[in-house]
Amino acid sequence: MFVNIIKAYRDVVAICDSELLGKKFEEGKFQLDIKENFYRGKEANEAEILEIIDNFSKKDATFNLVGPKSVALGLKAGIILSEEIGEIKGTPFAFALF
């Protein structure tokens, strides 16, 4: 998985499954574009990403999660609920604000 931390007035933590990087999914009027310049950061394992989620969920941060593994980590970390998960062309995504 990739995790990219974008520093702004509110930190943005973008996490995506590695195999989805650079792909685009469209369904009706909805689009999910996993752009490399937004999601490509450090390649990290589950433990590293859970630590990052834990650290940034205590701050003023936004999380963007894309892909089954990344969304599952968001659920495991407790930053999203199952009913907050969207899906486009079978690809799950979720957002969380702290």
End-to-end, the C-alpha distance of the chain in Å comes to: 22
| The predicted structure's pLDDT at residue 59 | 87
Q: How far apart are CA 27 and CA 88, in angstroms?
A: 6
Mean pLDDT of 49-78: 96
CA neighbor of 8 nearest in space, from 70, 64, 80, 60: 60
Using the structure block, give the residue that is written with the tokens 């590293």.
48
pTM here? 0.95
- Please state, for a pLDDT cut of 90, what percent of the chain lies above it: 94
Give the domain range for residue 43: 2-97
pLDDT of 40-49, one tens digit each?
A: 999 999 999 9
How many domains does the chain divide into?
1
> Which CATH number is 91's domain given?
3.30.1860.10
Average pLDDT, the chain: 97
